[in-house]
């Protein structure tokens, strides 16, 4: 229990996967001797902190699936709900939005069976976690009206979302929703709330998200210099603290977008290429998709037949990723940036 809790809290502060792995494996040894009911939770923790410190999101998916496979069918429905909630997060971080939504729905079916222990282990209410992530998935699936209603219902009970790492999620999702609707005002409002929660708690993980959200809001307001500064500061903090390395490709994609809008296509293309490489290494498909579109647009701005061929390949990659991930929110960006001559013929 102690080993699992230390590793679980470590992702907030930048604990490395190596340090956490030692704790998890020692905990697994103890669990096999004394209480095998802890094994699924330790596997879940191992997957989560691996992603947080820059590992593969697909590894997180596999770890949680392994944890679920250890539970006997029809028994411990509360733990099934908790682990399906974790699976929805893992799929979400991997960018597999349809699967994330399905796992989220599966978790909701057994929420009434979740035991107090699981809430205590996580440090927050499993139901709140499920519902907060559901709003994110609705946005990514392009179900924006439904997402807004869901997020508004969560904001009405925000004071009951006791843990700050859950409390900020509806605001994060609202920033994404505002990005889809090109609404700078709404993005600024909810970015400010994320920053406020981060400042109150001082959690590095939340501070990184604060920079990401503020950068998005400034970019929507066409303050690309200010937005680039926010994304750059987020990258600096992330790399300094090692807290939430998962977000690095996303910050880079936003950073690249800013430089494209500022008329610096060469720099934008280079930054987007870095984002694509990191996203592939970490199996985070959503920032890979956005970065592919931005890099393609930046290459076209540089002109030349070689750039055109590479841009076409990247646009096709983005199209494939949208299909694989179910993230319809990137379709408008793809349509906007891909010239008519490079669009597929139906």
Rounded CA-CA distance 112/123 in Å is 18
pLDDT at 119 (0 to 100) = 92
Task: Out of 1.10.357, 1.25.40, 1.10.600, 1.10.287, select the CATH number for domain 1-140.
Answer: 1.25.40
Model pTM score: 0.94
Is 261:294 a contact under the CB 8 Å cutoff?
no
Per-domain residue ranges of the chain = 1-140, 244-346
pLDDT at 35 (0 to 100) = 82
Q: Tell me the per-residue pLDDT of 84-100, one tens digit each, with 9 for 90 and over.
A: 999 999 999 999 999 99
pLDDT at 159 (0 to 100) = 85
pLDDT at 345 (0 to 100) = 56
Q: Tell me the per-residue pLDDT of 242-288, one tens digit each, with 9 for 90 and over.
A: 888 999 999 999 999 999 999 999 999 999 999 999 999 999 999 99
Please state the three-class secondary structure of the chain as a single string.
CHHHHHHHHHHHHCCCHHHHHHHHHHHHHHHHHHCHHHHHHHHHHHHHHHHHCCCCHHHHHHHHHHHHHCCCCCCCHHHHHHHHHHHHHHHHHHCCHHHHHHHHHHHHHCHHHCCHHHHHHHCCCHHHHHHHHHHHHHHHCCCHHHHHHHHHHHHCCHHHCCCHHHHCHHHHHHHHHHHHHCCHHHHHHHHHHHHHHHHHHCCHHHHHHHHHHHHHHHHHCCCHHHHHHHHHHHHHHHHHHCCCHHHHHHHHHHHHHHHHHCCCHHHHHHHHHHHHHHHHHCCCHHHHHHHHHHHHHHHHHHCCHHHHHHHHHHHHHHHHHHHHHCCHHHHHHHHHHCCHHHCCCC
Q: Give pLDDT < 70 ranges for the chain.
A: 304-305, 345-346
**Domain covering 244-346 in this structure, CATH number:** 1.25.40
Same fold, 1-140 and 244-346: yes
């Amino acid at each position: 229990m102690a080993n699992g809790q230390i590793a679980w809290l470590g992702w907030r502060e930048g604990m490395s996967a190596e340090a956490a792995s030692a704790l998890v494996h020692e905990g697994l040894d103890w669990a096999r001797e004394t209480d095998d009911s802890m094994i699924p939770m330790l596997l879940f923790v191992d997957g989560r902190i691996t992603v947080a410190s820059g590992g593969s999101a697909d590894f997180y998916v596999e770890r949680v699936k392994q944890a679920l496979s250890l539970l006997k069918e029809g028994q411990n429905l509360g733990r099934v709900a908790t682990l399906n909630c974790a699976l929805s997060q893992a799929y979400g971080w991997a960018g597999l939005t349809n699967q994330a939504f399905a796992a989220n729905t599966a978790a909701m079916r057994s929420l009434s069976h979740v035991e107090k222990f699981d809430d205590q282990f996580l440090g927050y209410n499993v139901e709140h976690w499920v519902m907060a992530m559901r709003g994110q998935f609705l946005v990514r699936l392009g179900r924006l009206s439904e997402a807004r209603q869901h997020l508004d219902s969560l904001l009405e009970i925000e004071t009951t979302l006791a843990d700050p790492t859950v409390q900020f999620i509806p605001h994060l999702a609202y920033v994404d929703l505002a990005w889809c609707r090109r609404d700078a005002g709404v993005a600024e409002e909810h970015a400010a709330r994320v920053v406020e929660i981060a400042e109150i708690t001082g959690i590095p993980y939340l501070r990184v998200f604060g920079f990401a959200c503020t950068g998005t809001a400034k970019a929507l307001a066409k303050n690309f210099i200010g937005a680039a500064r926010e994304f750059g500061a987020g990258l600096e903090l992330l790399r300094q603290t090692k807290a939430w390395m998962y977000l690095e490709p996303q910050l880079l994609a936003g950073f690249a977008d800013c430089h494209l809008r500022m008329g610096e296509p060469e720099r934008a293309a280079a930054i987007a290429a870095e984002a694509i490489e990191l996203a592939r290494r970490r199996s985070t498909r959503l920032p890979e998709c956005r970065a592919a579109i931005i890099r393609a647009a930046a290459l076209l701005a540089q002109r030349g037949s070689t750039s055109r061929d590479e841009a076409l390949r990247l646009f096709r990659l983005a199209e494939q990723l949208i299909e694989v991930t179910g993230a319809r929110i990137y379709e408008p960006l793809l349509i906007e940036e891909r010239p008519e001559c490079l669009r597929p013929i139906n």
